[in-house]
Chain A
Amino acid sequence: MTVITDCVKTFNSKPVRQADVPVVRFDDFRDALASTLASRDGELLALFGVPRGPQTVRVYGVTLEGMTGAIGLMATDVGERYPALTRDVSQAHWFEREIAEQWGVVPENHPWLKPIRFHRSYSSGRDAWNRVVGGAILPCVMPEGTDYFKIRGDEIHEVAVGPVHAGVIEPGHFRFQCHGEHVFTLEIEFGYQHRGIERRLIGGPDKRTLPLMETLAGDTSIGHATAYCQLIEGLGRVVAPLRAQAIRAAALELERLANHTGDLGALAGDVGYLPTLSYCGRIRGDFLNATALVCGNRFGRGLVRPGGVGFDIDEPMAAELRGRVEAAHRDVTGAANLLWSTSSVMARFEGTGTVPLATIRALGVTGTAGRASGHDRDARRDTPSGYHRYAQIPVSTWHTGDVFARAYVRHLEIQRSCEYLIENAPQLPAGDVRRDIGPLMVDAIGVSLIEGWRGPVCHVAMTGAEGTFSHYKVVDPSFRNWIGLAMALRDQPISDFPLCNKSFNLSYCGHDL
């Protein structure tokens, strides 16, 4: 295989002209993707289709090179069918299913071609599964010719869970193939949360764009809003004031702290260890309330705005924020340390739901779950944007890939985020907090990456001749990580499913969009 370098290189939130993105022959596209991902330790950030006329879909590949932080863009045109990339580029497996569902393009010989969201094809009259035009599409009811993964044999049984689960949680559907307690495989299906956000973004930005970004995954409001805002700032050739960038970075860490703390509590609850469950439930609220102190909303809605932030932090508030983080840091550390020193907790955490690093790399699992298997990646360090270019946060990894590792990486990240806030919150750069954004670049494409609490939040925007969005692609880390949960459940007792699920704690709506 020859190494092909003809993709255009760019960096986080630095748009390029669409005309500069090389459109290559399909074979070259596939080989270039495969070699970038293999030889340069790369990641597939996004792979998506954009319609080009009635018969053609242009497939864009967005890659991240290991340690250089360079984002590569290239494209190829495909017709109604093309040979599936997944055969050579395994990270493409879920993306190709999405392309098939959205544009009715069939990736031939895809190992497991099924819908992922259960909506009608966006190409009129073309459906990858030849479903009847106008016929009802029911969520998780498989189109003809496809089925759930099945294992046959005496005493094999299937367990189906969801969409409505036994808790306050979003809907999804889980199928286990079991022998007694033993799980052979888990297959996860989505689509119940599909709200059609990407389609609505086209033609924007408009007055509804920001609220849609903040609700892509409500627990990642800051992450998604920041990814969007820095992207249109790049397209509008404006740099948000440094003070605003620092406030965004602080809010991002508060979001990480709240969610990681909640996750540690939930993990404790799933193994019946109530002290940490109780404490973390409350401490999570302390972090959310710290966000509300800054902007009035516990999830940070309205804080991150195009061109800067909607709320400044004055000196007394910065001191108050620092004090609150210090107190919550003490409390969450105490609550977490109980877990590591309680043998009955550790017995359940260690060796449960292990995902090896090779699987993480092959399937493109990312973020916190990846770092827990030793995958040393963090967009805050690898592709820094905003204030992370000036104030670094050490990357936390662990090597065991089990529930313990996913809990412990959260614990480590809590320590780092608290230290960051305690050091940086009281000394914000001087200046204003918001700037106007001019007209967006026309016929451009930009990629934005933010390390949200689950992992890299990736937004790709394309503008048309009017400087409005002609296409918008969102890749929440959950989109890439749900397969990691399915892998974690292989050869596990089904009773460990809730624990494994919490250790990933992925977003349903972030996947379904």
Chain B
Amino acid sequence: MLSVIRERWRQGHRTIAYPAGDLPVLPDRYRGLPCVDGAKCPSECRACADVCPTDALRFDAGVRIDMGRCLFCTDCTSACPEGAIAFTREFRTAARTRDALVTDGAAFPLARAVDAKSRRLFGRSLQLRQVSAGGCNACEADINVLATPVFDLGRFGIKVVASPRHADGIIVTGPVTANMRLALEKTYAAIPDPKCVIAVGACAISGGPFAGHDEQHGGCEGILPVDLHIPGCPPHPLTILDGILRWLGRIESSGAPTIDRDSNHSCGTLSTDTHAISTPYRP
């Protein structure tokens, strides 16, 4: 017994302060919100698109990256002859709408809170049922990690539950394989109304690296009504936590700029308001 207590003492207190205090600092090489300086792009240059494994580059309104497809592999950064693409250390990348994930990084809107009614329903207690529909176990692992003492999801009244009957919503990972579609739909149907859907990872949003395969459906779109999109391959646990908390209105969106210690990886000011225009810092 004494050895158990001694070990408990030695292991210490490990829960992070987030969302209180300063933003956690992720490793220098962490690849978060992408930032594109379209002004640098020679016309008709498609070097980035040619190497992108998931066709995440968009050229319709300037040059933008679809984070719903992006695997954050940085192949585009290496291929770009002008150094126009960078991945910042900004981890707060979740979005309410699918369209908001298509960004050049300059004025990325942080996930905004749900309406007052949903907030009243879910804001203080959110029980989620997780369904992996073709997920590779990376997204699943980094959802699981939220239950460890480091993130301690329970302190926010959020819990992953075993039965859909006990759940307020569903967290989906994976590209929704053909063989898992029915089980996903049945699980969703078993959750009592009102309910929400959170899509975690490039696969659940767009099919990820499996997009276009006959064996899957290219994510939740068209199958379930997604309320919150959390991009990444996989998203960092902080991205998932921040996205859910912000969406529940548990973090008041302050619009504070990202503090980036590495100027080479700096990007624009984040905005909570899509109308706010900020001047991105160009390295």
Contact = CB atoms under 8 A, between A and B. Distances in A.
A341 interface: yes
Contacts of B174: 193
Contact of A200 (B138, B142, B145, B213): B213
Interface stretch (B46-54, B59-67, B104-112, B244-252): B46-54
B141 A302 contact: no
Task: Name the interface size band of chain A.
Answer: 35 or more
A189 to B, nearest CB: 11
Interface in B146-189: 147-150, 160, 162-163, 174-175, 177-180, 182-183, 187
B162 A167 contact: yes
A285 B145 contact: yes
A507 interface: yes
Contacts of B132: 168-171, 193
Contact of A217 (B7, B54, B136, B148): B136
A170 B135 contact: yes
Contacts of A294: 29
B226 to A, nearest CB: 19
B135 A164 contact: no
Contacts of B147: 281
B7 A334 contact: yes
Contact of B8 (A192, A197, A275, A311): A275
B143 A301 contact: no
Nearest to B164: A164
A267 B11 CA distance: 19
Contacts, number: 188
Interface residues of B, number: 66
Given A193-B135, A196-B216, A197-B210, 13 more contacts: A192-B133, A192-B177, A195-B213, A196-B215, A199-B213, A219-B137, A281-B145, A281-B150, A284-B145, A292-B26, A298-B142, A298-B234, A302-B73
B191 to A, nearest CB: 12
Nearest to B51: A207
Interface in B189-231: 203, 208-210, 213-216
Contact of A191 (B149, B179, B216): B179
A310 B138 CA distance: 20
A295 B87 CA distance: 13
Interface of A: 117-119, 138-139, 163-164, 166-171, 191-197, 199-200, 207-208, 210-212, 215-219, 221, 262, 275, 278-279, 281-282, 284-285, 289, 292-299, 301-302, 310-311, 331, 334-335, 337-338, 341-342, 507-509
A166 B161 CA distance: 8
Nearest to B131: A164
Given A167-B162, A168-B143, A299 B135 contact: no
Contacts of B42: none
A139 B179 contact: yes
If over half of A's interface residues share one DSSP class (helix, strand or loop), that class is named, otherwise mixed; here it is loop
B148 A195 contact: no
A295 B132 CA distance: 26
Contacts of B52: 207
Interface in B123-144: 130-144
Among A197, A200, A310, A509: residue with most chain B CB under 10 A: A509
Contacts of A197: 210, 213
Q: Determine which residue in A117, A197, A299 has the highest number of CB atoms from chain B within 10 A of its CB, and name it.
A: A299
B54 A211 contact: yes
Interface string B10-53: 11001000000000001111110000000000000000001111
B95 interface: no
7 contacts: A170-B132, A193-B180, A196-B216, A200-B210, A215-B203, A281-B148, A509-B134
B72 interface: yes
Contacts of A297: 30-31, 72
A215 to B, nearest CB: 4
Interface in B49-103: 50-54, 71-75
Contact of A195 (B7, B134, B142): B134
A438 B101 CA distance: 37
Contacts of A338: 3-4, 7
Contacts of A337: 7
A301 B209 contact: no
A331 B7 CA distance: 9
B233 interface: yes
Nearest to A276: B7
7 nearest interchain CB pairs? A218-B136, A218-B138, A281-B148, A296-B29, A166-B162, A196-B215, A211-B209
